[in-house]
Amino acid sequence: MKKILLSTFLFASVLMACISDNTAVASETAKISKVEAAANINEIEQAKILLLAKWQGPYQGIPVFDKVSLVGLMPAIEAGIKINLAEIDAIANNINAPTFDNTIVAIEKTGKDLGRVFTYWGIWRSNQSSPEFRKIQAEMAPKLSAFHSKINQNEKLFTRIQTVYHSDDVKMLTPEQQRLVLLTYNDFARNGATLNNKDKKRYADINQRLAELHTRFGNNVLADEENYVLYLGKEQLGGLPESIISVAASAAMIRDHQGKYAITNTRSSMDPFLTYSTERTLRKRVWNTYYNRGDNGDEFDNNVVIAEILQLRHERVGLLGYKNYASWRLEDRMAKTAEHAIALMEKVWPAAIARVEEEVADMLAIGKAQDGIKKIEAWDYRFYAEKVRQDKYSFDSDEVKQYLQLNKLREAMFYVAGRLFNFEFIAITDGSVPVFNADVRVWEVTDKTTNEHIGLWYLDPFSRKGKRSGAWATAYRSHTTFDGKENVLSSNNSNFSKGVDGQPTLISWSDAQTYFHEFGHALHSFSSKVAYPRLNSGVRDYTEFQSQLLERWLATDEVINNYLVHYQTGKPMPKALIAKIKQAATFNQGFSTTEYLASAFVDMKFHTVDPTGIDVDKFERETLVALNMPEQIVMRHRSTQFSHIFSGEGYASSYYGYMWAEVLTADAAEAFAQAPGSFYDKEVAAKLVEHLFSVRNAIDPSDAYRAFRGRDANVEALMRDRGFPIKR
């Protein structure tokens, strides 16, 4: 018994000691936690301040991409919103009578703090997305929508804008200032400012929900691009050129699959595989994986997301009195109405699908003779088109690729910019300009004659995990002069498959055209002479024109002879091969035109019907059947991956704009081709810069084009350009 009592006593003593120790430990832990919490708060605060801070350093200040972190993003946005709303309230509550300066110009001065945060946001969203960012993005999307609604629905502010808009004093303003007043008024009137309070609330609620859905759509597509990778063994590489094999090996190594070859779920990887692989079963697999993005019936499926987006867009424009989304969207575009846009597409469509029929017949003849196939399937099109190209023009795309080195093409673009725009690009190699990834390079842009600083050009050329697919241009800062001169910070972004270390990156002719295309957007930014920020934002079916036009300089003799040199021998592209390229300029136009127009038609149809109860997959199929869509081709962007129109609203009911811009492009290209100095004619180039690049959105695009050409663009130029017959 004593032993038991002693043991109990000892146990109690030990227990009390433990409690005492634990209490002490808990006390110390609490102190540490408070210190850590304070440190975390301090870290978040510092990160927030850095994201909001005015850009310092050379070149009028530059983003500190190497110092910012996600930890401060949400607090920075929330702080930026408060600052911006306070700026707006100050304008709305101004006791002085509304004028151009104290209302319209004052609005132009707002939002700079938030704008700096969104420069970083754009990088995290497009160039280096992550699960952490996507979580922030999903949480902030509705809050940002609510913020924009507060501004658009600020009654006092809109009353002031209306007063200026209707004032006789507007007639005393410059044409550029009058354009700014018009665009500012439309920005508010077309986005709910005229609605009653009940409808304003519903309008704002719809916008919040759409913001959530647009974000989900884009993240679903990105998830499917990241999650589906095909790893091949050596025995599955049949037909693939060495350049493609080396890139696939590098892609596999990055993903910890040494000894394998990765075909990723992006266009830059899919397209060459479908063009060259002799493994028909694998071609089908790669094709299906790529074109089924967002349509796999899983957690990343976009069908339900699209249906709700369409329904909400339709309801929202109904509040404004429009019959459908397209009638609202196109009102301030060059096309003006859906009927005008559709009429243009319908002029081209019959010739495009007729050409497809010819292309398929040519391919099937070779397919039967060489492989015994009985039908050209969608995953066969690129493969047999390449064989037809070789048969008709005696060259293959991979032969051309050996002369298309990414760095040399960049030099070629600089050459063109120097000849047409008088710009010089000087590489910045001293580390004075921070970048967000080691692949990014930066150049200073100056005027060749005066050495005046124009801006900086950032280039992010290679694909990687977390980077959205495709190619795009953006501006971190645009040219303005109204509040002190600000120079341009412009960026081009691509998804080229990076070559093996020590080897140049080789790309296709089509990718080279895209490279020039996006550089055209950058040149548009660098050429700007407008005074106000709003005037740098263009009209969607017009802004693609300038970039499409720049593609034409890739095929000029000056570029071909001086920059398209073999990556091993350094010898320029042979004249015989150049001749073949030019002879084949209209080859496969049936395919490229049809796949594009199919997407444009479906986009327009989506936005001109009542979408109540819509079955997205069924609607897509039925629309294409009604168009007599060739079964060997699919839309360039199937609905469930059509980020142009469903991850935001920039191209919604406006994807036709590429075709509208191509009419302008073909017509403008003929102006150069017919000039004494051809594509480097000084007089035509000067008119190009003056009337089509420098003015941005300071004048109506139709007036701008007439100033350049002396007339409206002619659709027949496009038909000639594509080798299609012209009906008289």
Query: What's the confidence (pLDDT) of residue 396?
Result: 78
Which alpha helices (H) appear in 372-431, and where do they start and end?
A: 381-393, 397-401, 406-421
Distance, CA of 333 to CA of 450 (rounded, Å): 37
What 3-state class would DSSP assign to 508?
coil
- State pLDDT tens for residues 491-532: 999 999 887 777 899 999 999 999 999 999 999 999 999 999
CA distances from 409 to 160, 415, 562, 584 (A): 50, 10, 10, 21
Angle between helices 2-52 and 112-126 (to 10 degrees): 110
Assess contact for 351 and 633: CB atoms under 8 A.
no
Best CA proximity match to 647, nearest among 131, 193, 149, 137 = 137
Lookup result for tokens 């870290």:
43
Residues whose CB falls within 8 Å of the CB of residue 670, separated by 6 or more in sequence, listed in order? 717
Cα dihedral 70, 72, 75, 77, rounded to 10, equals: -60
Lookup result for tokens 């084009």:
705
Assess contact for 420 and 680: CB atoms under 8 A.
yes
Assess contact for 191 and 152: CB atoms under 8 A.
yes
Give Rg (Cα) of the chain. Answer: 29
What 3-state class would DSSP assign to 722?
coil
What 3-state class would DSSP assign to 488?
strand
Residues in the chain: 728
Distance, CA of 642 to CA of 303 (rounded, Å): 11
Q: Which residues pair with 565 in a beta bridge?
A: 572
Token digits of residue 727: 């009906």
Residues whose CB falls within 8 Å of the CB of residue 235, separated by 6 or more in sequence, listed in order? none
In terms of DSSP bridges, do strands 488-496 and 453-462 run parallel, antiparallel, or are they unpaired?
parallel
Query: What's the confidence (pLDDT) of residue 583?
Result: 85
Distance, CA of 175 to CA of 178 (rounded, Å): 5
- State pLDDT tens for residues 311-355: 999 999 999 999 999 999 999 999 999 999 999 999 999 999 999
Token digits of residue 604: 């327009």
Assess contact for 103 and 81: CB atoms under 8 A.
no
Q: Three-state secondary structure along 667-717?
A: HHHHHHHCCCCHHHCHHHHHHHHHHHHCCCCCCCHHHHHHHHHCCCCCHHH
Assess contact for 346 and 623: CB atoms under 8 A.
no
Q: Which CATH architecture has domain 401-583+656-721?
A: Orthogonal Bundle (1.10)
Q: DSSP string covering 488-511, please?
A: EEEEEEEEEPPPPTTSPPB--HHH
Query: What's the confidence (pLDDT) of residue 26?
Result: 44
Burial bucket for residue 452 (CB in 10 Å: 0-12, 13-18, 19+): exposed
Token digits of residue 541: 């079916």
Lookup result for tokens 């930026």:
80
Token digits of residue 288: 């299906």
Ranges of the chain with pLDDT below 50: 1-26, 28-32, 35
- State pLDDT tens for residues 231-259: 999 999 999 999 899 999 999 998 999 99
Instruction: Let me know if the fold of 70-208+304-321 is the same as that of 401-583+656-721.
Output: yes
Assess contact for 169 and 100: CB atoms under 8 A.
yes
Query: What's the confidence (pLDDT) of residue 499?
Result: 79
> Which DSSP letter does residue 470 get?
S
- State pLDDT tens for residues 177-226: 999 999 999 999 999 999 999 999 999 999 999 999 999 999 999 999 99
Residues whose CB falls within 8 Å of the CB of residue 683, separated by 6 or more in sequence, listed in order? 675, 677
Token digits of residue 595: 């796949």
Assess contact for 223 and 480: CB atoms under 8 A.
no
Angle between helices 267-276 and 242-254 (to 10 degrees): 140
Q: Which CATH architecture has domain 70-208+304-321?
A: Orthogonal Bundle (1.10)
Q: Where are the domains of the chain?
A: 70-208+304-321, 228-291, 401-583+656-721
Token digits of residue 92: 């709305």
What 3-state class would DSSP assign to 454?
strand
Predicted TM-score (pTM) of the model is 0.86
What is the identity of the amino acid at 525? S
